[in-house]
Every structure is written in C-alpha cells, then in structure tokens.
Structure 1
Amino acid sequence: MSSESIDRTPAVRLGSVLLAIEAVAVVVLAGWQVVELVTSEPASIATSIALVVMTLVAAFALFAFARGVWGGRSWGRSGGIVAQVLIFAVALGSVQGGAGHWGIAALLAAPAVLTFVVLILASRPAGPGTSPR
C-alpha cells in the first residue's frame, strides 16, 4: 500500500503525532537517566543501565507505533493503545505511597488519556470479507 492511497483522517494524523511526541519525551527521559547515572552514585550500576536500555526500547516502540498509525496499520493503533494503558497505570502508581505526587500523575495521565481517545477514534471499519462469522 503506497502512502498516497492511505486515508489519513485528522484522528490518524493526530494519533501518530501524539505517539511521536511521547517517543521524544521518553528519549529525553532516557537522557536524563544517563545524566543521573554519570553524576550520582547509583545503588546498582547494572540496574541503572538496564533501566536506560528499557527506556530506549520503549521510545523505539512508541516511534514504531507512530509510524504504524501513520501508515494505516492496525498494529500501530493497537500497540499505541496498550502503551497508553501502561502509561496510565504508571500515572496511577505515581500517586500511591509516601512520595506520591498528583502533579506527576496528571502530567502522565492527561496525554495518555488524550492519545488513547484519539487512537480509538482513528480506528477504521473492517474491509470487505472480514466480518465475523
């Protein structure tokens, strides 16, 4: 399927852009983690490096989902939706415990909810011959 034949609705465009922005934010987070790793004394260097690597994997996945949504691929929307649910779960977890902070939760949850809704709106009807039996 060529890029010219894809019907990019406003929801598809916005969903792709929001996922790409999230991916950039996660790359910035990974950079911050590297700075913290270098400038402070971590309890475990191996764990800190693993966290940076997993953060970069998450950023790569978000970029892939953004590209998938842009290309009209259902796996891009599905992956993006799952990512938003996970981000929302992290937001909920950030208000629990003694160090809980509602501001951090709102900064995580608001874009996740917005992107979730946009990705749901970006869905398209199934093609001919794909109806359930």
Structure 2
Amino acid sequence: MRTNTFGRVAAVLVGLEGLGLVALAIWQVVALASGDTASIESALALVVLTVVGAAAVLAFAVAIWHGRSWGRSGGIVAQLLILAVALGAATGAYAEPLSALVLAVPAVVVLVLLVLAVREAGRHARDEASA
C-alpha cells in the first residue's frame, strides 16, 4: 500500500521520537557508567526498557513509512503515552509546565497526522474495494 503525505510526515516525526529515545538510553548508560545512580539494578532495568521502547518506536516509524496499519496504531498509542507523561509533568507537587508543553505539542501534532493518515488509508482501501 502506498503511504500518503500525512503518513510520511508522521513516519519521519515518529522516527525522530525513536532517535530521541536512543539518545535518552545513551544518556542513561553514561549516567550509569559515571556512578550517577542510586540503584544499579533499577538503572539497568530503566536502560533496557528505554532501549526496548526505542526499538518499538523506530519499528513503528518504518511501518508507518511503508503504510502498515500496525505502525499507525502503535504510533497512536505511543503519542497517547507521551501525552500521559506530559499531563503528569504538568500536575502535582513538582509540576514542570514548560516540560509538559515540550512533550505535549509534538505528540499532539503527530497524533493528528496519524489520525489523518488512518483516514486516508481507509478511504484508499474503500476505493480499492469498490473498484
């Protein structure tokens, strides 16, 4: 299936999010190596989870680029999780509204692009079915 423009832009942005997770994993490894952790076990677990998350998000980006529905679905779930983290950053005793905004704005943009890509893919599938 041919990917539409919305899907291509969303794929690039989801790929950038995946690369951001890779950078975060590298930062975590550097912190672990420099002894800047309270618990080595927890730090290792966090690094592993971050690497798994980065691999998943990068796989979603590739799948979105190739027009696969599972990539769009996974990308939408990832954006909703980012929005949940942003909400947590915006509220509570240690609220950081600017950090929440930095997380939420790109997530909303990508979420809208993914929904538009899903709609376009559905329209394309209906046109093929009726032809």
TM-score bin (small chain): 0.7 to 0.9
The one-letter code of the counterpart of 1:83 is A
* Cα distance change of structure 1 residues 38 and 99 upon mapping to structure 2, 3 Å threshold: farther
Give matches, 1:1-133, under 5 Å.
6-123=1-118, 124-125=121-122, 126-127=125-126, 128=129
The one-letter code of the counterpart of 1:46 is E
Q: Cα RMSD over matched residues?
A: 1.4
Q: Runs of 4+ in structure 1 displaced over 3 angstroms? A: none
SS at structure 1 position matched to 2:3: coil
The one-letter code of the counterpart of 1:62 is V
Q: Which moved more, 1:72-81 or 1:36-45?
A: 36-45
Q: Which residue number in structure 2 is paired with residue 3 of structure 1?
A: none
Q: TM-score, normalised by structure 1?
A: 0.87
1:9 Cα deviation from its structure 2 partner? 1.6
SS at structure 2 position matched to 1:122: helix
Question: Structure 2, unaligned stretches of length 5 or more?
Answer: none
1:103 Cα deviation from its structure 2 partner? 1.2
The one-letter code of the counterpart of 2:78 is A
Q: What count of residue pairs does the alignment treat as equivalent? A: 124
Question: Structure 1, unaligned stretches of length 5 or more?
Answer: 1-5
SS at structure 2 position matched to 1:83: helix
1:8 Cα deviation from its structure 2 partner? 2.5
